[in-house]
Amino acid sequence: MKRVGLIFGSRTVEHEISVTTASKVYEVLRQVQADYEPVLLYINKSGAWLCGKAVSRLLTVEAEGRTCEDLPRRKSLQQSFKQELERLERGTGSGEVEQLFLPPDPSLGGLCGNPARAGWFRRQLQARLDIAFPVVHGTHGEDGTLQGLFELADLPYVGPGVAASAAGMDKILSKLLFRGAGLPTVEATWFTRRQWLTDEAAVCARVESALAYPVVVKPAVAGSSVGIGRATSRPELSQVVRQAMQFSARLLVERAVEDRLEVQCAVLGNHDLTVSECEELLGTGRIVSFEDKYLRRAERPEEADLAPSHIPARIPEDLARQVKELAAGAFRTLDARGISRVDFLVDRPTLRPYVNEVNTLPGSLCLRLWERSVVTPVELIRRLLALAVEAHAEKAATRFESEEGRAVVDKKHLMSPRK
């Protein structure tokens, strides 16, 4: 039996979203306990790694609050969930809780006790891990930082590697990569917070010379619509930039696609890729904020369908086929692996699709999309774990000791090249 470290939470504005994803994945992992033993690892908002009965309690309360049909009971459970988060922030909980850490030393083989309490040289292995399953969304989890720790620890992990995670999280870098690969993207420009604070007028002039209003301003490294705003004039541009630069030191400005469809699909695999059905997001045409997506739904569970959708998307077959091909192309351009969701903007008059972004650790792992694509949650989780082991084995085929100044690849262990 393999021990799977389900890692969630962390220092990110998408903290609660991560807990929800972890709750759903945990439900599936418990269905395959004959082969995989889940080890729950919650990273609180201060960055402490915690495990124990209190962490299990957190996921249980979240799941009950999310699925309860009785509205008063549901609100009570959601309040209990907030209280559990507050307790764990203090390092306590309604059950047992223990602080652990994952050392970058692969010889230790897993989670160790808190060295501040036990003494650095007296640390002991507390829990062996065979595979890491991170579901941390946003910064300090989806941006390559957590993946770098897994690489140092020589631990197989679900999802893209360091470079793909970092590039996928960075809207500017990913757009440059997509352009270089010949993928269609919306016209854009970018600048830094320092440049804005030094000469706001010059930056505004540069934006206006590159793009016509209306424009959309996005923090380069924030997800889930955090900090995104629309501007139709220079005063509005100044306002939305001041909002967006709270979340990132670099900002992307794009031409607003006014009459648009929003379509997305998920991609699964390392080499031989499977693309899900396309999903069409329905709305009023306005930009959906982080508050709309998550916070207001939590406050008003009776209105949880604020962003309804159609699966499959109500688009022509040739457009759906093109979107799926572009999704696979974007996935390969980032050198992603495991699972990702690719978001598109489609210009309604011309039906021209634009790659918007790649979410390398999508919320809830796009379970709904895969279910409509005849991939059950159990099949999805099993495949993701197998893909993690496969990717780790491929890395093991590369020897890192120096031989004539370069690493040597043992070709007989390599998988077939990516198609």
Give tens-digit pLDDT for 311-330: 999 999 999 999 999 999 99
Q: Which residues contact 26 (CB under 8 A, 6 or more apart)?
A: 6, 38, 40, 59, 63
Cis ω on the peptide bond leading into residue 214 (within 30° of 0)? yes
333 membership: H or E segment, kind and range: helix 317-333
Residue 332 shares a structural domain with residue 390: yes
Beta strand 131-134 with 215-219: parallel, antiparallel or unpaired? Answer: unpaired
Residue 177 shares a structural domain with residue 243: no
93 membership: H or E segment, kind and range: none
Taking only Cα atoms into account, the Rg of the chain, rounded to an integer number of angstroms, comes to 22
DSSP 344: E
Residue 227 shares a structural domain with residue 318: no
Total residue length of the chain: 419
Residue 356 shares a structural domain with residue 386: yes
Mean pLDDT of 13-32: 92
Secondary structure (3-state) at 251: strand
Domains contained in the chain, number: 3
Sign of CA dihedral 9, 15, 16, 20: negative
pLDDT over 60 at 299, yes or no: no
Domain at 192, CATH number: 3.30.1490.20
Question: From CA 419, how far away is CA 409, in angstroms rounded?
Answer: 20
CB atoms within 10 A of CB 211: 18
Residue 347: what pLDDT? 97
Residue 164 shares a structural domain with residue 312: yes
Q: Where does a domain end: 255, 278, 301?
A: 255
Q: Which residues contact 172 (CB under 8 A, 6 or more apart)?
A: 190, 220, 250, 252
Question: From CA 251, how far away is CA 244, in angstroms rounded?
Answer: 7
pLDDT over 90 at 338, yes or no: yes
Task: Give me the amino acid identity at 158.
Answer: V
**Alpha helices for 335-376 (secondary structure H):** 367-372
pLDDT over 70 at 406, yes or no: no
pLDDT over 80 at 408, yes or no: no
CB atoms within 10 A of CB 374: 9
Q: Which of the two residues, 411 and 159, has the higher pLDDT score? A: 159
Q: Which of 325, 364, 338, 348 is nearest to 224 (CA)?
A: 364
pTM for the model: 0.87
391 membership: H or E segment, kind and range: helix 377-396
153-182 pLDDT, tens digit each: 999 999 999 999 999 999 999 999 999 999
Residue 52 shares a structural domain with residue 99: yes
Domain that holds residue 122: 2-157
CB 211 within 8 A of CB 188: yes
Residue 272 shares a structural domain with residue 403: yes
